[in-house]
Amino acid sequence: MSERLSDHTTTRVGGPARAWVEARTEAEAVAAVRAADAAGDPLFVLGGGSNTLMADTGFEGTVVHMGFTGVEVLPAEGAADGAGDVVVRVAAGHVWDEAVAWTVEHGLAGVEALSGIPGSAGATPVQNVGAYGADVSQVLVSLRAFDRAAGQVVELSAEDLRFGYRDSVIKRSMLEDGSPSPRWIVLSIDLRLRRAEEGAEPTAPVRYAQLARALEVEEGADVSLAQVREHVLALRASKGMVSDAADHDTWSTGSYFTNPIVPATVRVTLPEGAPAFAAGTDEDGTPLVKLSAAWLIDHAGYGKGFGLPDAPRREGDADGTGPDGRGLAGGRASLSTKHTLAVTNRGGASTEDVLTVARAVRDGVKARFGVDLHHEPMIIGTRL
Ligand SMILES: Cc1cc2nc3c(=O)[nH]c(=O)nc-3n(C[C@H](O)[C@H](O)[C@H](O)COP(=O)(O)OP(=O)(O)OC[C@H]3O[C@@H](n4cnc5c(N)ncnc54)[C@H](O)[C@@H]3O)c2cc1C
């Protein structure tokens, strides 16, 4: 069976896969990965396609789509039916947001702030997904994965995964050897969640100022899980950060660039008002700060809708009109009209169109502020 990646990615771009395997069980996924590796065939493992930009020429190899689902509370000593920690196992192909909805419905606290992130559960540890003051490393206890190097199913603890900001050992394993797939193919993830006492309303502390304001509570206040989920989904929708087929602002990979982490000395070279948050130190002890990619993009003159001929332009803004007057990439790709961090397909865009807009933004930020922006999605078969 052959499929086009544009039918399986949230940006709706990408050419055909030479071979496509729909893995409906863990065993089918492992067998397909083993077979591709044994044949020396390039392998790409696909979940929801919400962090993938595949070349227009497609993939000369096997794409294994993780299509198996399931969420269950694991039996644990002492946890029984009372309050306390429970461990929930989610199959790799389960839609992440459906798993989050399930935990909220079952009164289990821990992932409610990660509501609305598109894609599969199995991909969440790959880049340690996060939003609104939470990330998956805070709750992930361990995962089961097929280790392609060892040829067997293994269990990795949170410690083994060496999580970082939008990073893990799984992600690094593909970047380091240049392969389009990681060494470990995630089969299921185990999350430690908290069950409220019988009769008590399940709540969680709000750890993000913007979310606290939306909920009209102080940061740190306990709020019901259902309310957190509802407000996170509303905030995300207002920024085009939940998938919606009817809204081109969501035809993206979400945030295209990560927030740059740079030596603290870089901060003084930036204009006053540029957000910077302490981000620890590097191996040599140099203090680091995390900058806001959205702020840098906006202040370098790349506003909402950049790339569209009719986008509102402020004085000094970069020209997003292409040579034919129809927009930088023929008007087919642009920054979201709701958020400067997302590069979107306006309909009919190719991967190259999306990258054309992303390159202009990356180069413009470098020229204006001297800061390198790094892309968040996995780019396969082409480069930014
Ligand atoms: C509108 C929108 C909003 C978003 N908001 C956020 C956000 O708030 N925070 C955030 O962190 N991300 C966000 N993202 C990015 C994306 O949703 C996450 O990175 C998500 O976890 C990707 O899941 P996926 O299944 O779609 O991954 P895919 O795109 O299918 O795959 C991404 C990478 O992971 C690998 N992979 C996939 N499944 C597995 C597996 N089972 N085992 C090993 N490797 C695997 C793939 O090979 C690929 O390299 C957003 C994306 C969109 C479109």
Task: Give the tens place of pLDDT for each residue, 37-48.
Answer: 999 999 999 999
Beta bridge partners of 193: 86
Q: Would the CB of 58 count as within 6 Å of ligand 1?
A: no
Q: Residue 107, class by beta-carbon neighbours within 10 Å (0-12 exposed, 13-18 middle, 19+ buried)? A: middle
Rounded Cα gap, residues 269 and 259, in angstroms: 17
Which of these is catalytic: 144, 224, 252, 376?
A: 376
Comparing C-alpha atoms, which of 90, 92, 101 is closest to residue 26? 92
pLDDT (0 to 100) of residue 1: 55
| Of 54, 64, 126, 238, best ligand 1 pocket probe by most atoms within 8 Å of the beta carbon | 126
Token pair listed for 361:
């933004």
* DSSP conformation class of 111: S
Q: Residue 200, class by beta-carbon neighbours within 10 Å (0-12 exposed, 13-18 middle, 19+ buried)? A: exposed
Rounded Cα gap, residues 350 and 325, in angstroms: 18
pLDDT (0 to 100) of residue 179: 77
Domains and CATH numbers, the chain: 5-66 (3.30.43.10), 71-238 (3.30.465.10), 250-258+293-380 (3.90.78.10)
Active site residue 376: yes
**Around Cβ 157, how many Cβ atoms within 10 Å?**
11
Q: Would the CB of 71 count as within 6 Å of ligand 1?
A: no
Confidence tier at 13 by pLDDT (50, 70, 90): very high
Which spans in 71-196 are helix H? 96-105, 158-161, 169-177
CB-based contact 15:8 (threshold 8 Å): no
CA of 128 from ligand 1 middle (Å) equals 9
CB-based contact 48:117 (threshold 8 Å): no
Which of these is catalytic: 148, 166, 236, 346?
A: 166
Q: Would the CB of 118 count as within 6 Å of ligand 1?
A: yes
* DSSP conformation class of 256: S
- Percent of the chain topping pLDDT 90: 89
Rounded Cα gap, residues 73 and 87, in angstroms: 6
SS3 189: strand
Beta strands in 237-300 (DSSP E): 261-263, 276-281, 287-291
Rounded Cα gap, residues 378 and 235, in angstroms: 25
CB-based contact 91:26 (threshold 8 Å): yes
Q: How many CA within 13 A on the CB side of residue 180?
A: 26
**DSSP codes joined into one string, 304-348:** TTTTSTTS---TT------TTSS-TTTTSEEE-SS-TT-EEE-SS
pLDDT in tens, 372-383: 999 999 999 999
Residue that has been written with the tokens 């039918």 in this structure: 7
Active site residue 216: no
Rounded Cα gap, residues 128 and 96, in angstroms: 13
pLDDT (0 to 100) of residue 55: 96
Rounded Cα gap, residues 148 and 380, in angstroms: 19
Q: Would the CB of 45 count as within 6 Å of ligand 1?
A: yes
pLDDT in tens, 147-194: 999 999 999 999 999 999 999 999 999 877 667 899 999 999 999 999
* DSSP conformation class of 373: P
Q: Which atom of ligand 1 is nearest to the CA of 126?
A: 34
Confidence tier at 134 by pLDDT (50, 70, 90): very high
CA of 123 from ligand 1 middle (Å) equals 5
Average pLDDT score, the chain: 94
Q: How many CA within 13 A on the CB side of residue 323?
A: 0
Q: Residue 31, class by beta-carbon neighbours within 10 Å (0-12 exposed, 13-18 middle, 19+ buried)? A: middle
* Sequence-distant (≥ 6) Cβ neighbours of residue 86 within 8 angstroms: 73, 74, 76, 79, 108, 192, 193, 194, 195
pLDDT (0 to 100) of residue 83: 64
Q: Which atom of ligand 1 is nearest to the CA of 46?
A: 30
Q: Would the CB of 117 count as within 6 Å of ligand 1?
A: yes
